[in-house]
Amino acid sequence: MKESFFKLFHDGYGPASAYHMYMEEIQLKYENDEGVLADRAICPNRQDIYYLHKKFLNQSVAKEVEEFNANGKGHAWMQPYISSTSVSLGQPFVLVIITNLMKHCHSLQQAEELVYMDTTAGLDILNTPLTILSTSMSIGSLPLAVILTSDETAYTFSEALNALKHILPITAFNSHGPIIGPEVIITDDCKAERMALHNTWDKTTLLLCVFHLLQAM
């Protein structure tokens, strides 16, 4: 059953569509046998499917990260998602990526002086927040790092930023280094982001984005 769902996920099916495809095959194969349909080992419930889908994504992303690092395209690090239980707090999903282009952008003076941090959600079926760190110059915005997380809490952002510090080059932020960080970071009015940034780079000045400030007012 698990292998069947992993194959469907690999072919691009999401949890819901994979469930419908699988159940149609089971019903045809066993001719709606009530005993088979009641057997959870053969016919899992929807909650099981979403669990298997998350497990499949963790394995797939882990493989992609390994290949990314091996191919010399940059540096990435992943922390797999583990759900909390009555005896364990679990851990959030965190993926941090620094490409070779981003490493080059870190050598610019702008990367030392001013960094933007912005998070967008609702981009995929799991609603995974995507956070981009960037700087800017006359040609436009330049990327410095990409972060994906399972949620937008201060704890998760802190986990992600601390992981980012470990994969940033020693010359990050125009030789300011990953420990000190940039001089200024501009964000929207997200308390979780700002708290995590303060905990990570306490000497960095945090400013609010004028666009978001005017929009709120």
Give the span between the Cα atoms of 93 and 76, in whole angstroms. Answer: 14
Residue 191 banded pLDDT, cuts 50, 70, 90: very high
Nearest to 166 by CA among 211, 216, 200: 200
Contact call for residues 137 and 110 (beta carbons, < 8 A)? yes
Residue 112 banded pLDDT, cuts 50, 70, 90: very high
Give tens-digit pLDDT for 29-84.
887 777 887 888 888 888 888 888 888 888 888 999 999 999 999 999 999 888 77
Number of H helices, E strands in the chain: 11, 7
pTM for this one?
Answer: 0.80
Backbone angles phi, psi at 92, to 5 degrees: -75, 155
Return the beta strands (E) in 44-187 as ranges.
Answer: 74-79, 94-99, 114-120, 130-137, 140-149, 184-187
Domain ranges of the chain: 2-58, 73-216
Mean pLDDT, residues 157-184: 95
